[in-house]
Structure 1
């Protein structure tokens, strides 16, 4: 599936101008037959900044537009994304760390298109890609967001020749109160029955979402994770050696721009793999 048409790779000084991110962006552009722009952002104090990776760039010079900036112009970057119909932004990250930089967080919160934080990977291709979904049949916007997450997961797993995992975290609402409240306490047997019923509902919702998606295939590993998403998803990422996490960020638009949900931001600050975040349609 050719999903993207216009890619933008942002390299900043803290990334040491990571050549691995450039190689992956070039590969992604070739797979999608897309146009690629690369922006190198230098400190304002830099004198005579020069573009690194000249040899790699020269091999693809006809297909890549290169620009040098000497500041962190997030408003102008957002305007460029809108005016030039960019449909994927990539940011190179220099190391496997859990802390996102302030630049990454600000752009992630405000970027209206999918944003990919590219972290180092020891293999030329990803082996495991995780698409995290949260089905809600009563919320059309969330349904479209889940479909986009699955679509990206399928497309990228094909390109990377990777195993695709689709996970949904669930828990029984009010379980702690049911277990410990002096007024509402229920037996363990009743709790087990309620959990089983809740799990069946979530299982049916996930299976319905997958079955109605045209790009889904039989090789997808579907997992329901019992627990709080901000805890069980990072654990799954670690134990299953996930290379790329794809997830939606549901937020609101306010005076400070788009604010990611607390759960999404908490997960993104915890995992060590590359992350690809997407927002609901129509969010700017």
Structure 2
């Protein structure tokens, strides 16, 4: 079974342009099995719940009317994207917290990816991630693809930001997951995949505290370790050496810079935050990287991640 066959697309209420839906259709048409796209919107208007002059039934009727109008609008804006190669449905819910509504729909509909458009700042040419984006990155149990408001680049490159220097089983499993999804996405989108890893700079204070310490030897050893680990990963998955990059520096500097150099259309990140009920944060490194990337971002959770919004955990 191919990945991403049940796709949840979050509608952009502020525009008839729907880049997230366009990206979902690209994935669905290239799927090896028939896909389903659910076009989803969470809406809420405080005034409809606070109008004391109306009865409960009248307020319900007004909400249903608004929901029906939004459904008709969504079907109209979706028409240019639709054909018979995939299944499609529209769903609008009344909810005052969009990210909660989205995650609840993920559980209810058993979706395997959420695709949502991000906002682009026209002057700075940078992506602005909304509070809903950040909540989804932290709390959504399935991969989240945040789409920039632009067309998919011709012959695009996709980068997987792997963490090969660690022997942590969570990192190792996540690396394998990222490469497998990179393979699937490059095949389906006609792109080229790259594996990128950043390794740390030698701390300057070590040479002060330990006069006999040789920073050059230490740096060579660290680089050698990461190169060897990257070689093992690329050979495991059949990647040529020229499509693997190992650079010294912080991931939040290296990954955005490499994505610019390669004109990447997407960066795949592993969000190696805590698992279990305390899994609220996605990790400072991932957040800093995401904030600097001006392209699509696919964020993957580690195996065993449990969303704090999982209804099964609250029973």
The bucket for the TM-score relative to the shorter chain is 0.7 to 0.9
Asked if the contact 2:28–2:86 (Cα under 8 Å) also holds between the matched residues in 1, the reply is: no
Bigger CA radius of gyration: 2
Residue matched to 2:311? none
Matches within 5 A, 1:31-110: 31-32=30-31, 33=33, 34-44=35-45, 47=66, 48-49=69-70, 50-51=73-74, 52-56=76-80, 59-60=83-84, 63-71=87-95, 72-95=97-120, 97-110=126-139
Partner SS, residue 4 of structure 2: coil
**Superposition deviation, residue 58 in structure 1:** 5.1
Gaps of 5+ in 2: 48-62, 307-315
Residue matched to 1:249? 271
Asked if the contact 1:113–1:278 (Cα under 8 Å) also holds between the matched residues in 2, the reply is: yes
**Whole-angstrom distance in 1 between the partners of 2:228 and 2:127:** 33
Q: 2:290 aligns with which of 241, 256, 268?
A: 268
Residue matched to 2:206? 178
Count of residue pairs the alignment pairs up: 276
Matches within 5 A, 1:155-170: 155-170=184-199
**Superposition deviation, residue 230 in structure 1:** 1.4
- CA RMSD between the two structures: 2.6
Q: 1:212 aligns with which of 236, 240, 257?
A: 236
**Whole-angstrom distance in 2 between the partners of 1:13 and 1:53:** 10
**Superposition deviation, residue 184 in structure 1:** 1.5
**Whole-angstrom distance in 1 between the partners of 2:235 and 2:119:** 38
**Superposition deviation, residue 242 in structure 1:** 1.4
Q: Deviations over 1:140-184 (max 9, x none)?
A: 2211111111111111112222221110000245x31134x2x32
**Superposition deviation, residue 191 in structure 1:** 1.9
With over 3 angstroms needed to count, the CA separation of the structure-2 counterparts of 1:225 and 1:137, relative to structure 1, is closer
With over 3 angstroms needed to count, the CA separation of the structure-2 counterparts of 1:76 and 1:43, relative to structure 1, is closer
2:187 maps to 1:127: no
The normalised TM-score by structure 2 is 0.78
The normalised TM-score by structure 1 is 0.86
Asked if the contact 2:127–2:148 (Cα under 8 Å) also holds between the matched residues in 1, the reply is: no
